[in-house]
Structure 1
Amino acid sequence: MKVTEQQKIKDGGLGRKLYSVRESYWISYNGIRTLRYMFKAKKNKEMSSKFIERLMLTVTEVNGCAICSYAHSKRALESGMNSGEIQNMLSGIMDDVPSDELAAVMFAQHYADTRGNPTHESWQRIVEIYGMNRAMGILGSIRTIMMGNTYGIPWSSFFNRLRGRADPRSSLLYEVEMMLGTILVPFSVIHALISGLFGRAIISF
């Protein structure tokens, strides 16, 4: 039986390569470009808080971010999800996902599995199912939590290291490198704003 990256993480925290400084730059860039679509979809009641939190818990489960799991479990409870639903989401179990949200949740899983490089076909399917406005809200939600996971993993691992419970995928050198790499975030924000002014594509393949 093939062991997935997610299973390797669960079985000892090994297998899934953590995001590099270079990847974190582009994850931030993409997140900034689509953040407003998440807020817009929520404001227009095209996406509920529960829907958004399901997507975020799904991505967090794939990436294995401890601090994001804690933060978004709390937010999911506040949105109305019960503890059983949340635990299932953080275990990769989709039994409780409403049928009309399942395709989006599976896309979120695929997006994280491919490190932010989904297939064109998978994106087109989301647009077909949900329409462009909701699809952009879904993408914005996924990319927002990807930003959180990217930096949440090294920060939470660093503080857990001080308590003797570091992420086994990580190292002190990696954590320091990623924390210093946050100085690039303002540049990714400027880059994203410039791309928006020039009408660059929101998602490419």
Structure 2
Amino acid sequence: MTKRDLYEKAYAMLDKTTPLLTDCGVLCNKACCAEGDEETGMYLFPGEEEMYSGDHPWLIIEESSLTYGNGKPVLLAICKEPCPRESRPLSCRIFPLTPYIENGRTLIVRTDPRAVPICPLARSSSTQKIDENFVDTVADALRLLIKDNEIRSFILKLSRLIDEHEELILRMTGTGKGKKRGRAVRRR
């Protein structure tokens, strides 16, 4: 199966599910889709850029400073304007969740700690809970994708980046070394 085939299948799986049964953008005024003053974006999974061949005037794809595998740069999708919903990158489709590999081998789906400043659903204090069907569907899509060695390598690197992010937050807030704030949503 080509990467394009993998992403088409994962996109189709995620097409009809969202973090809440209602429009979660109401909680935050669509903060995750808002155009910022600075160029920020979402990481593309390896090979996902194939989904954006052709004319997409709303999108810029650039190399980021993050690398995985043998120094391959991770690509960053930067939206110049709101994107067509059906064209969202995988990272947007699964937000505020992220894949995470524990102990170098176990895939879990967890709340992305980098989402906390943006998404009320990512905060442990949130009264709204992420829909279980959404979590299950994200887990199913990621289980499909992680069979690809390059995607697995990317998720391993992303997991270490999340570890570094959490360690930095712990040091800055003085909340104790070694305690992880993120919560596993689904183990597989």
Please report the TM-score for the alignment, with normalisation by the length of structure 2.
0.31
Decide which structure has greater helix share. 1
Please report the TM-score for the alignment, with normalisation by the length of structure 1.
0.29
